[in-house]
Every structure is written in C-alpha cells, then in structure tokens.
Chains A and B, each alone.
Chain A
Amino acid sequence: MSPPLLIALRFLGARKRAMLMSLAGIVFGVAFFVVTQAQTAGFESYFIKTILGVNGMVRVEDRIQGGRVLSAADGSAFAIAVEGSVKYIPGVQFPNKVAEALAGFPEVTASSPVIRGNATLLANFREYDVKPHGIELTTFVAVSDLESQIIDGSLAAFAENPYGLVVGARVARRMNLQVGESVLLDGAGEPQRFRVNAIFETGIDQVDRERVYLHLAACRPLLNKPTGASFVQINLADPALAPALAPRIQQAIGHSTMPWQEREKTWLQVFSVLRVSSALTISTIIFISGLGMFNTLVMIVVDKTREIAILRSMGYTRDDISRIFMYQGGIVVALGVVLGCVAAAAGTWGLSKIPIRIRGIFASDHFVVLWDPWHYVAAAGIAVVVVLVASYFPARRAARIEPGSIIRGSSS
C-alpha cells in the first residue's frame, strides 16, 4: 500500500461524522439516481414495446405522386424541388408489389397489409362506432404482438373462422361482449355478421376502445375496398434501424413511409424530458454530498496542517500530500458508489414489485423498471466527478502548505 493511501485511510477517521454524512449523501444520490432512471426508462421502454407491438416499427402508407423539380437549365444537374407540388394518394394500391420490394431490404423481417376503415358494431341492442382492421393473420402476428395481447378467447379460433372477429377490451366491455357471441358490423350500408373469437388488450386506451380485427377477405366488402390496402405494417430486425431505413423504402417504392420514432415523437419527448429532469433533480443530492465532502476535507486540512508540515519535512512531496486528500475523496466515493449501486439494485427490485394498475398508454399491473448497467455507470460517473472535483481544491490547498513556516509558527 502506498504511504499516501495508508495515511489517507487513517485520516478518514479524523472527521468521522462529517465523512459519514458525505458518504450517506453519495449512497442515497447514486441509489436514487439509478432507481429513478430505471423507473422512467422502464416505463419508456415498455411504452415503446407496447406501441411497436400494436402499430409496428414502420408503416408504408399513401402513395406519393409528383414532386415537381425545376432544373436550372436543360441537362443541368442543378435542380430544386417545388414545394407543395407533392400529392398523396391514400392507401397502398398494390400491396403485393410493395411486399416484393420490401423483401429486397435485408433489415425487414416481415410485412403485412392492413385495411382500415370505420363501421358501426351492433350487438345486445346497442350500437358502437369502431375501426375495423382487416388483416392477414399469418403475416400480421409477425409485425405485431397481437398473440400476446389476447386476454380472452384464442387466435386459433379466429384463424379458422372466415367471419371471426377480435375486439378491443374496452369495446367488449362497452358492448358487454363475450367470446363466442355474434355481432353485426355495418361498414358500407349492408350489415354483416361476425362471431367474436377473441378479446385483446394493448393497454393503449385509444386502441382498446375502437379497434376490431377481422380477416382481410371479410373486411374488403365490409369497407367497400375490393383491392389494395390502407397501409403495410413492417417489422425490422432492429427497431433502431427504422429512421435510417424508412427514407430508403420511401425512395424505393414511392409511398410515404414513417418510422415509429417519428410517429410517436410526442410521447418519446415526454419520456425523454422526464428522464433528464429526474436525473438533474437527483444529481443535486450528489452535488450537495460533494459540497459536504469539500467542507469535510477543508476542515481536515486545517486540522492536520502541522501533520502535513511534518510529513513534508520528512520527505513527502507536494504530490504525496495532494494524493492523501484525493485518496480520501476517492475512498469515500468508491465506497459510496458500491453501496449506492447495491442500494439501487435493491430499490429497483423492490420498486418493480409494487403493485400499480396502469392503463392508457400501456397496460401494467406493477411498476415497470429497466435494468440498464449504463444507469449505474452514469450515477457512478457523476458521483466520481463531483467528489473528485470537491476533493481537488482542499488537496491543492494542503499541497501548498509550506512546512517551514508552519513548524516555525508552531514552535514560536
């Protein structure tokens, strides 16, 4: 063990209470930082998982037509696009061709055409406006989490029934629907009969209270859309690829293509602001601990001025003296980070067990947390920087002590 480290360890006891307070501050700061980040990031990631499971990672929608370009001169490479000249033609006219084109993108793992429209659901002498979604079940389950969203009934029964229906949980509740019940859907003026095979719940209020799924073939006459699709929902190997891939798909197939990050921008920003805000708030605990550490070390430097002088007289360099105080900060922050991380892990686990019913943007019956090592790294990084900066100034002050004048002052 180096002499400065040994001396630092012994000096730590010089102001035990103040040092313990600083240590406690770092432990709580690190723990709270990690727990709040685990919680906000947990809710954010669960929201993303939910929204991707419902609306997919990328959607190919309206066809883009036109986009007038003015050239500087005939044959000139310099040209500008005329704003407002682009037209969007609703829907995807040839979904099979789009699917073929999408197969050329290695990042795309699955795609599924969907018809979307409006209809009135009639059952139990009640009427309720819904948004029927016509799907190809085999491909749609590959671009959504519909299988895991089923809370009653089964998709197998729906697959076997050409006039089967899967209804949102709030639609079922509002209309008092049970699995196996027969209902009428009126889309284009001619009501058609369907049987409820399953009930799904996404946790997203807007989806659960208006969406119903039916087979694509059965949906076409209902919505009077004999060909084409409203959109094609795409799944990717990595959701993070969506922003880069969407413009390439749009360029290739001439349809407006939107990644989930742009589609859910509002909510993602809300989560981002919450995460940054909680990080800043909790960091103040660590900053205050750093101030405490600064005060404690300054007091130790004042208390130990004569000891520092005698150490210098016996051959300890200014760097050695500086290290004694930097090591004290380092020891406290190392201990604080380790204990803080243990407390954070325990707190995060405990928080994940707290029952809380959440519905609206996702469905959960307990706190959602995200176990991310980067939260621990960030908390440790903030604590280390704050404490080492707080230790630097007292350490520098200690290193500047002139042994001769201190010893002479003490002797005279």
Chain B
Amino acid sequence: MSLLRVENLHRWLGEGETRAHALRGVSFEIESGRTYAIAGHSGSGKSTLLYLLGLLDVPDEGRIWIGDQETSRLDDEARTAVRNARLGFVFQFHFLLKEFTALENVMLPMRKLGRLSEPDMRAKAAELLGAVGLGDKVRRLGNQLSGGEQQRVAIARALANDPALILADEPTGNLDQANADRVFALLRDLAHTRGQALLMVSHNPELAARCDHVLHMKDGRLLD
C-alpha cells in the first residue's frame, strides 16, 4: 500500500475577482523510504499542494489518503491528531520557540503525542539532535544557534514522533549553499535510513534532481 495517495485534488484560492484555481485535479502516490521533490515556478501550486497534504488546508474537491486513512474530510481536531502522529514539517524558516532549548523544541511534538515518559522523550530528543550533528548544543536556546543549526533543530523536531511522511517547504531556501547541501543530505539520509518518505517543495532544480522522484508542476497540474 502506498504511504500517501491523492486523487483529483482541486483548490481555489482567494475571493471574488482574485479567485484563482490553484490546483486542477492533482493525483499521485508516494511510497515509504523514498524522497520526492515537487518542482515548478512560483504560482504553479507547489506550496498549495504541500499544505493540503500536510492537512494544514482543506481541498475543495478530491481526496487524500495517508496510509489507509482518508483525511480530506476530517474535522480540525482529527486532522491535528494526524499531523501530530504521522506527519513532520520542515519549513523555510525554522520557527523554533526561542524560550525553549534545542532539546525542548524537539520534545514539543512528543509532549503532545504523550506516548513517551519524560526521560524517554529527553533521550530521544538528544539522539535526534545527535543525528543532525547538534549533540553538543542540546541546551542552547533557539536564538543561540546559527541559521543552519536552527534549521537542523527543526529537522530533528520534524522527526520527533517518527512520522511516516516528512513534508518540507523550501527547507534550504533560507540557508547558504554549504548549509543547504548539508540540510538536504541530512533530510534525504534520514528518510532513507528510517524508512520515512520525504516530500519536498523546492525552487532549486539541482536539489530537486537529487531526490528519488521529481514531480513537476505547472498551472496547478502535475506534468508527469
């Protein structure tokens, strides 16, 4: 069974004269342990699609299955629970909570899920930060880390609840080349080694080409 399946997704954005048909019948599937890039120009509907897949938005038409669960008609609370348990997000900006240390930021999704004890959460968060190369900076507050380090904390946070699918929206868009390469490699390796799927939106064709699959979008449609 595919990890994610979408069928005939439609989404209109805006109102009145500015109303635009952002997604026009998108359908595809993705599998566990693979990396996918959605490439396309600005306004092609990449981010709209990503936010629908992340259950941060609701399609006007069409259906989304995560595993065997049809999610497009779930209420807000149920969609939030699916996000917590099965999805991980990495955004262009890290959005760390500056009042929390790197370790505590990574623990936030785990606290909400509530499956692990406090010591287990700490141990797992430390392990994830170690995996992204920040094992020695677990006690630093968000604003005491560099931009690249903050983004790596955000990756560790996205992996906190062992999500089946990691959704990344321009995860390297705010980083220099060296950090961008490092973050992308990290995401790809983690996805492969942990059997998680990575779906990434990127403007960068070189980065997109390094994924297992590239989905090209234009005018709200998938070209492939």
- A: residues with CB less than 8 A from B are 3, 6-7, 10-11, 13-14, 306-307, 309-318, 320, 402-404, 407-408, 410-412
Contact = CB atoms under 8 A, between A and B. Distances in A.
B2 interface: no
Interface stretch (B32-40, B59-67, B87-95): B87-95
A315 B97 contact: no
Contacts of B56: 312-313, 402-404, 407
Q: Which 9 A-B pairs have the closest CB atoms?
A: A315-B84, A404-B56, A10-B99, A310-B95, A3-B111, A411-B92, A314-B109, A404-B51, A404-B57
B47 A315 contact: no
B188 interface: no
A357 B93 CA distance: 70
B108 A311 contact: yes
A145 B224 CA distance: 102
B83 interface: yes
A404 B109 CA distance: 17
Contacts of A320: 112
B99 A3 contact: no
Contacts of A408: 47, 51
A13 B80 contact: no
Given A313-B56, A315-B112, A410-B91, 5 more contacts: A6-B111, A13-B99, A317-B76, A318-B77, A411-B91
B173 to A, nearest CB: 8
B51 A315 contact: no
A10 B100 contact: yes
Interface in B54-82: 54, 56-57, 76-77, 80-81
Contacts of A307: 95, 97
B162 interface: no
Contacts of B173: 411
5 contacts: A6-B111, A7-B97, A14-B99, A309-B95, A310-B95
A306 B85 CA distance: 21
B95 A315 contact: no
B95 A316 contact: no
Contacts of B112: 3, 314-316, 320
Interface in B156-183: 157, 161, 169-170, 173
B169 A411 contact: yes
Output the residue of B76, B99, B161, B173 with the most chain A CB within 10 A: B99
Contact of A407 (B77, B80, B91, B111): B91
Contacts of A411: 47, 91-93, 169-170, 173
Contacts of B51: 404, 407-408
B99 A312 contact: no
B131 interface: no
Nearest to B85: A315
Nearest to A320: B112
Contact of A315 (B91, B92, B109): B109
A121 to B, nearest CB: 81
A315 B81 contact: yes
Contact of A313 (B77, B89, B111): B89
A258 to B, nearest CB: 65
